[in-house]
Amino acid sequence: MPILRVALDLPLHRLFDYVSDEAGHGDVGLRVRVPFGRGERIGIIREVREDSDWPAEQLKPAIAILRDLPPLPEDFFRLCDFASTYYQAPIGEVILQALPVGLKRLAAPERRAGRRTAAVATVPAPELTGEQAAAIAAVSLGAGFAVHLLYGVTGSGKTEVYLRLIEKALAAGGQALVLVPEINLTPQLETRVRGRFPGAGVVALHSELAEAARERHWRAALEGEAQIVLGTRLAVFTPMPRLALMVVDEEHDASFKQQDGMRYSARDLAVFRARDLEIPVVLGSATPSLESWANAKSGRYQLLTLQERANAQATLPAVRLLDTRRMVLQEGISEPVLAAVAQRLERGEQSLVFLNRRGYAPVLACPACGWISHCRRCAANLVLHLADRRLRCHHCGFEVRVPKSCPTCGNQDIHPFGRGTQRLESWLQEHFPEARIVRVDRDSVKSRKQWEAMLERIHGGEADILVGTQMLAKGHDFPKLTLVGVLGADAALFAADWRAPERLFAQLMQVAGRAGRAELKGEVLVQTQYPDHPLYGALVAHDYPSYAATLLEEREQAGFPPYAYQAMLRAEAPDMADAIAFLTSARALPVAQEHSEIALYDPVPMHLSRLANLERGQLLAESPSRRALQTFLPQWRKAIEGIKAPAKLRWHLEVDPLEF
């Protein structure tokens, strides 16, 4: 009787065998309903074989093979196998997490016909610049695998390059997959793609979609009906039988790295998938990640450059540094910024005041006894959200009402310290009472509908001043926006995280690029106490290449990625001593001493040492050789699984960590 080797969504590094008298080799990739323990589960048939490593009497029969979908293709399994091996993740979790929720349920939900997508006006293709035409010509579809790093200044027309390449892929009968880092970038990109390709099947895949819609879109991709798939990081696993082109927009963005479950990089998996299918992949950014930039400089990736803005009448904004050591600030805003905003109001233009800190104030405190609004569950402060009178933790979600007096001494004169976007919005409304001010952050925009409505207001000229966080920093094109004022950027210059300067530079370059994207000239004012810092000098000159070269030289001297390869073992438990003891035991395992190319550092608490009532520690493994690290990790993981740990302790391995 045929043996089914089945992948189940379990934290185990193995497949499970079942018998079935109705199975054939053509059933590999189908869903199957199987008994497990006292219940049942949905799994994926990974292999049909004639024998098993287990005695026949121990094998249970499969309940039913589900044939309502085409089998998952073999290249999907190759991608999952690579992800499982590289990121040390259970194979069943990898395969099943890529499926829509409805397809993993025992009782399949009733499927309704999808809503008709509203018609989008056809948009003609604009005339290409010489740089755009050269970049498009350099990407050869059908010529095999290649990674193209499209480095283009903000407003240089990278999206138009993507669209022309998609056009070529569709003309050849292929499909295209476009990955974006943020959900809020998907609707506007979807509108633009539908306008360019009105006859093509275009679907989006992201977490804001309703469950039924996500399943419909995923099915359309698998069955080949969807020619273009737009999605966030999980969409990298979408099975597509005729995939001919992959695009990763804003490839530097940390949102492409999954931070729970299987901790994978969608950008890196896109590169593997392109190599496996022998198709081109385009990584686009105005501020590429240092890893990608190093690969381009070494010749592993082909560098394509767009140095001028696509609109011939648009120029890069002038960046001016404001030395706040010599200025009096009003609610954190200098007089030059206020004067520039007032000037734009008179001219009927829009301004963006950028502060990457939401809420009203970062902390509420008592000046009498020193009480501070600490989160009782995390090593962090509760942020004051004055609009709804709540103190809220931005890490674990815990919240309480704002106290009327100090909980420690009873003092009624408690004060907010620092400022967030809510406080900034309130003060600007008082200072410019005639202005229409729109705040854009995760508190004001919680759904796709809210986001689309807000974008419509901004584009329609119903906003004079935007107060926003990083949600406004990427991918948005507001023709009337001519001024960007940046507040509070200095904090990242001296952060403990060695990646912080790279992220800050990318963020500032992106937000600066919102200004002057049409005929109107743009200006960027950056408040800083360190105007001589090299980062700000490169920002003023719009010179990413020189700053990237500086950072790469520092990384090479320090032995940091991309000149070293890292994995992080993390443990969390109610007691920090238990977490550190577990990590110490993992460091002392014999296998850790057998690999001379691996350096294991001392266990330490994480930067945010307590999260949601759990104490968190970490242990860094590092090697100058990726191959050596990948040889070591599965052996180490298997040995770690044998450590006797407290019942409430949880641990995981993260390869290529971004946070420390």
Mean pLDDT check: name the lowest of 15-19, 121-125, 131-135, 424-428. 121-125
Quote the tokens at residue 597: 């190319």
Q: Which domains does the chain have, with CATH numbers?
A: 3-104 (3.40.1440.60), 130-306 (3.40.50.300), 318-359+419-556 (3.40.50.300), 565-655 (3.30.70.600)
- Res. 460 pLDDT band, cuts 50 70 90: confident
DSSP 494: G
pLDDT digits (tens, 9 = 90+) for 539-573: 999 999 999 999 999 999 999 999 999 999 999 99
Q: What is the pLDDT of residue 609?
A: 95
Largest CA distance in the chain: 84
Residue 241 has pLDDT above 90, yes or no: yes
Can you tell me the distance from the alpha carbon of 58 to that of 516, in angstroms, rounded to the nearest whole number?
Answer: 70
Q: What is the mean pLDDT of the chain?
A: 92
Q: What is the pLDDT of residue 347?
A: 94
Residue 116 has pLDDT above 60, yes or no: no
Residue 126 has pLDDT above 60, yes or no: yes
For residue 277, the tally of other CB atoms under 10 A from its CB is 18
- Cβ 359 vs Cβ 472: under 8 Å: no
Q: What percent of the chain has pLDDT over 70?
A: 97
Q: What is the pLDDT of residue 119?
A: 57
Residue 110 has pLDDT above 70, yes or no: no
Q: What is the pLDDT of residue 120?
A: 64
pLDDT digits (tens, 9 = 90+) for 333-392: 999 999 999 999 999 999 999 999 989 999 999 999 999 999 999 999 999 999 889 999
Quote the tokens at residue 168: 């070529």
Quote the tokens at residue 651: 């641990």
For residue 160, the tally of other CB atoms under 10 A from its CB is 21
DSSP 108: P
Q: What is the pLDDT of residue 124?
A: 81
**Single-letter code of the amino acid located at 544:** Y
**Single-letter code of the amino acid located at 345:** L
pTM of the entire predicted model: 0.93
Residue 13 has pLDDT above 60, yes or no: yes
Alpha-carbon torsion (550, 554, 556, 561), positive or negative: negative
pLDDT digits (tens, 9 = 90+) for 174-207: 999 999 998 777 777 888 899 999 888 999 998 8
- Cβ 326 vs Cβ 457: under 8 Å: no
- Res. 114 pLDDT band, cuts 50 70 90: low
Q: What is the pLDDT of residue 493?
A: 87
